[in-house]
Chain A
């Protein structure tokens, strides 16, 4: 719309008064504009007609809008003889325009027109002028220009023109950085904020070095500046390529982390989201957050606020940090487990899931943490969920938190954890992400705490045994197999479980697995080349199965079944294993099997004596004890020479830590016959005789004729 007639100027004024300034500059109405104390312009509201015509004979009159703008902005470009409508009524008194012929005021007026009429051509010409003003030495000028530009950024057309000028954006950035004036800081920050809602604007800010400047504004004492700065940075991080690197380089994290102490939830939500964007996949960023006490601040937010979006963004940062080995213990120490645990029963699904993933990541660092009762109970409750993700996390967390922690084991057992875990296993079917940790958790609950027996019984009472043994079937997923084998071993510690385990086919499956795993391990030669399947070494399966069979063999029927499956040769072979644990379980199962005479004979015929003699010297008390017991049991029918050898070896092993006994042994009657042995020290031990039980009595009871006395005067052998 163009206005051609002079007398429509009044209408223009009226229109101006509807602008954001609501000002009447008095160009047409002549109303004096009063500048009040705080620099605001207000109208005195007295309108008087004050137009006068200048003396010159005009070629034409300034009537068009563009002429008015030009007159205001670029008077030097006006043609000679142009009539300028002057509002001067009293020659001695300057008009408002004359009085206020500051560039900014003129400009502001002109721009108001521009805003009204949205003429791109004029806009483009205004921008360089504004840019110059922003770069002015005079801070008042800069302030005014900033305010004008800020207004311009609120409308699309003018905003577009601004963001298309790199010089303009650079000038804004510079002004923001250099100003000592709060209002200028606020206005310039607001400009950048407004520009940051479009990609073009983001790019222009990025290219103009806006990021370091915005980061510096994060130290501003003005809340509004902080808000603009963080929001603009957030938009940059979200949508501008290269922004993350630039923020990191500008020490953005260093400035952001302290902002976590602010108390505005929405501000915190944006800040935490920035931290998440910066630290995801970037180890250095995570360490910077840690170094600035980020974990404490983040945990504090989780504990304190209830604004869902903030809790969610914060939980995402914690999740990112929770995979960092350095941040993990710090989060746990700050009470992270308990704080995250508070949000597992709310209505926000996304928050709950994030907390669960984070808890799971942290759980291996929290095994010694106290005050976890509430969390543990909630987790047991979550085991009834049908959501696979939730089950995966709950079982995983419980598995780790019950690891080597007797208090937690007892608490979970008392909270019906066993029943809940069994139901989870039943529901999970073949989902190993759930069954593996669930079985591990049961394995933890069934040993090494006061309620271990309660847990062992509870598994049976809640019909868990068949389901658990079924997990030993094909297809084999070895981590699950390994966990189940350990659990079966613990279950067998409870005598009432032995028959149900046998009925479920545990013995059979364990022997099959043992044979297969042993074969696989042998195929690959020496133990230096360990065989991994699904991340599990076959040697671990051998050890686990043998250990479970060891405990199952305490039951006489199981014992017979195990022996009948031709397992003794393999167990004897395992005595040669370089791994102590394998030696221990092999000697242990042979010790149980040797209770039965036929098995004892087989053990002997397989040449077990030699390796067992070696094992008497083991540093491991369990190994030495089992080995000795087997030797005693297989030597019952042996001649006294053999028994003597056993005794000699035992002396060297069992008493070698007892110097007095060793001394005595060495100083007794010298050794004779074939027992002089390179392994034995000088001054061999000899024996004049042995107690009656070594004289070929086959399993018979000691004579009641020798209660409490030593038959030391029995026949020499």
Chain B
């Protein structure tokens, strides 16, 4: 049985799954990983593969949204005629 494809099968599996997911999310959000974290991902390539498709498709952390400015708060007189 391929434990990698059965989430929650064992606590160890779950832990690995959690960590892989967190690291993949970090990468997706543009963050750096430590060398050991990169190695971890390499080691659990299979889990990585299965987790990749389960990551949310939308962008997670793109910073603050654009906001419009309401310029039309009050009428202004003609500044020039």
Chain A residues packing against B (C-beta within 8 Å): 280-281, 316, 319-320, 322-323, 328, 349-350, 353-354, 357, 360-364, 367, 389, 396, 399-400, 402-404, 437, 440, 443-444, 447-448, 486, 489-490, 493, 543-544, 547, 551, 554, 581, 584, 588, 591-592, 595, 621-622, 625-626, 628-629, 632-633, 636, 647, 650-651, 654-655, 658, 660-665, 668-669, 685-691, 693-694, 699-702, 706-708, 710-712, 714
In chain B, residues 45-67, which have Cβ atoms closer than 8 Å to a Cβ of chain A?
45-46, 56, 60-67
Chain B residues packing against A (C-beta within 8 Å): 3-4, 7-16, 18-19, 21-23, 25-26, 29-32, 34-37, 39-40, 43-46, 56, 60-76, 78-81
Across the interface, do B21 and A654 meet the contact criterion of CB distance under 8 Å?
yes
Could you tell me the distance between the alpha carbons of A623 and B18 in the complex, rounded to whole angstroms?
A: 15
Q: How far is the CB of A128 from chain B (nearest CB, A)?
A: 45
What are 25 A-B pairs at a CB distance below 8 A?
Answer: A281-B75, A316-B78, A319-B75, A354-B78, A364-B68, A403-B68, A404-B66, A543-B64, A622-B29, A622-B60, A625-B26, A625-B29, A626-B26, A629-B26, A632-B19, A632-B22, A647-B15, A650-B22, A655-B8, A665-B8, A669-B11, A691-B12, A708-B43, A712-B3, A714-B12
Which residue of chain B lies nearest to A559 when distances are taken between CB atoms in the complex? Answer: B32
Which residue of chain A lies nearest to B22 when distances are taken between CB atoms in the complex? Answer: A628
Q: How far is the CB of A94 from chain B (nearest CB, A)?
A: 63
Which residues in B have their C-beta under 8 angstroms from that of A700?
Answer: 36
Across the interface, do A660 and B35 meet the contact criterion of CB distance under 8 Å?
no
Could you tell me the distance between the alpha carbons of A228 and B11 in the complex, rounded to whole angstroms?
A: 91
Which residues in B have their C-beta under 8 angstroms from that of A400?
Answer: 68-69, 71
Which of A636, A690, A708 is within 8 Å of B12, CB to CB? A690
Across the interface, do B34 and A664 meet the contact criterion of CB distance under 8 Å?
no
Which residue of chain A lies nearest to B23 when distances are taken between CB atoms in the complex? Answer: A629
Given A651-B14, A654-B22, A708-B43, also A362-B72 (CB < 8 A): yes
Which residues in A have their C-beta under 8 angstroms from that of B73?
Answer: 323
Across the interface, do A699 and B35 meet the contact criterion of CB distance under 8 Å?
yes
Which residues in B have their C-beta under 8 angstroms from that of A654?
Answer: 18, 21-22
Name the residue among B19, B29, B56 with the largest chain A CB count within 10 angstroms. Answer: B19
Across the interface, do A490 and B18 meet the contact criterion of CB distance under 8 Å?
no
Given A437-B69, A661-B7, also A699-B34 (CB < 8 A): yes
Name the residue among B23, B30, B40, B75 with the largest chain A CB count within 10 angstroms. Answer: B75
Which of A581, A687, A699 is within 8 Å of B11, CB to CB? A687
Given A444-B66, A621-B56, A654-B21, also A712-B13 (CB < 8 A): yes
Across the interface, do A664 and B61 meet the contact criterion of CB distance under 8 Å?
no
Across the interface, do B26 and A685 meet the contact criterion of CB distance under 8 Å?
no
Across the interface, do A650 and B31 meet the contact criterion of CB distance under 8 Å?
no
Could you tell me the distance between the alpha carbons of A586 and B43 in the complex, rounded to whole angstroms?
A: 30
Could you tell me the distance between the alpha carbons of A608 and B36 in the complex, rounded to whole angstroms?
A: 22
Across the interface, do B31 and A396 meet the contact criterion of CB distance under 8 Å?
no
Across the interface, do A591 and B31 meet the contact criterion of CB distance under 8 Å?
yes
Given A404-B65, A668-B10, A688-B11, also A493-B30 (CB < 8 A): yes
Which of A367, A437, A655 is within 8 Å of B14, CB to CB? A655
Could you tell me the distance between the alpha carbons of A581 and B64 in the complex, rounded to whole angstroms?
A: 8
Could you tell me the distance between the alpha carbons of A662 and B73 in the complex, rounded to whole angstroms?
A: 52
Given A486-B63, A701-B35, also A660-B80 (CB < 8 A): no
- A sample of 10 more A-B contacts (CB under 8 A), given A350-B78, A353-B80, A448-B62, is A323-B74, A447-B62, A547-B63, A592-B31, A629-B26, A647-B18, A665-B14, A690-B12, A693-B40, A702-B36
Given A361-B71, A448-B66, also A689-B32 (CB < 8 A): no
Given A349-B80, A581-B64, A708-B45, also A686-B36 (CB < 8 A): no
Across the interface, do A621 and B18 meet the contact criterion of CB distance under 8 Å?
no
Which residues in A have their C-beta under 8 angstroms from that of B79?
Answer: 353, 357, 389
Could you tell me the distance between the alpha carbons of A103 and B79 in the complex, rounded to whole angstroms?
A: 57
Given A316-B78, A437-B69, also A702-B14 (CB < 8 A): no
Which residues in A have their C-beta under 8 angstroms from that of B75?
Answer: 280-281, 319-320, 323
Which residues in A have their C-beta under 8 angstroms from that of B22?
Answer: 625, 628-629, 632, 650, 654
Across the interface, do B61 and A403 meet the contact criterion of CB distance under 8 Å?
no
10 cross-chain pairs, A with B, having the tightest CB-CB distances, nearest first: A664-B8, A361-B72, A687-B11, A661-B8, A364-B68, A403-B66, A323-B72, A625-B25, A622-B61, A628-B22
Across the interface, do A399 and B69 meet the contact criterion of CB distance under 8 Å?
yes
Which of B7, B12, B56, B78 is within 8 Å of A689, CB to CB? B12
